[in-house]
Amino acid sequence: MSTGEGATPGPNSRALIADDDPTMLLLMEHVLEGLGLGFEAVSDGAAAWHAWEKSRHGLVVLDIEMPRMDGLEVCRRIREADPNREAFVVIVTGRDRSADLEAVLGAGADDYVTKPTTGQHLVARLRIAARRMADDRTRREVEEELRKSRWLAGIGETTVAIQHEINNPLAGLLATAELLKMEFEEKGQPTDELSVIIEEARRIGVLVKRMGALRDAKTVPYAGGSKMINLRSDE
């Protein structure tokens, strides 16, 4: 196994290359170094799978025929473990029949390179891969921001509904409890239980008011490893 150190601008930016042909492996190493990409190189399919499973490389270049595990099987395993397709997989193949290329794409590869190839051709294909990876990252970031926006919009709609459904009956409950407390006090009867009801009802009113004023929702840990929205004013 060998490694080359280059500019690695972010997580998963290192490449994984796998080929049992030392000449082809050396060519790919020179290409990646020229592109400024850090990489990890292995010479068989099983090593490729274990390396990716450990480090989750963003770019994976696999020879289709390798000892211990072929490139198609490695690709299939990566796809099973990476349902969001964050890894960009390129298969290098000497097979150029339509059925073979369909098998490559059917395994989940994003692109393929046919042998024999040149350094110039590899550079072109990997530059295209890098652009597609950048576009995919941008798309995922936009989708995540959209998801957050929808989540926040949902919180806003929920708080309006809660305020509408809770405030009116809560006001009625408080008014009734305060009237009963006044009557009990006039008769000299205990009012401890009514005081608790009034205090807790007012606390509910404060929480509902905080939900209505919520603009930047934050979560805090809750039981069982779940999370809940933080409605405490002191945090």
Distances (CA, A) of 223 to 102, 204, 217: 49, 21, 19
Burial of 227 by CB count in 10 Å (0-12 exposed, 13-18 middle, 19+ buried)? exposed
Which single residue is written with the structure tokens 């082809």? 24
Q: Is 18 helix (H, G, I), strand (E, B) or coil?
A: strand
Spell out the per-residue pLDDT of the chain, length 235, in tens. 554 444 333 345 789 999 999 998 999 898 888 888 889 999 999 999 999 999 999 899 999 999 999 999 999 999 999 988 889 999 998 776 777 788 888 899 988 888 877 778 888 888 888 777 777 777 777 777 777 666 666 666 676 677 777 777 888 888 888 888 888 888 888 888 889 888 888 888 887 777 766 666 666 676 667 666 666 655 4
Which two structure tokens, joined as six digits, stand for 92?
A: 């290098």
The two structure tokens encoding residue 220: 């805090």
Taking the whole predicted model, whether its pTM rises above 0.85 is answered as no
Task: Copy the structure tokens of residue 87.
Answer: 């890894």
Phi, psi (rounded to 5 degrees) for 143 = -65, -40
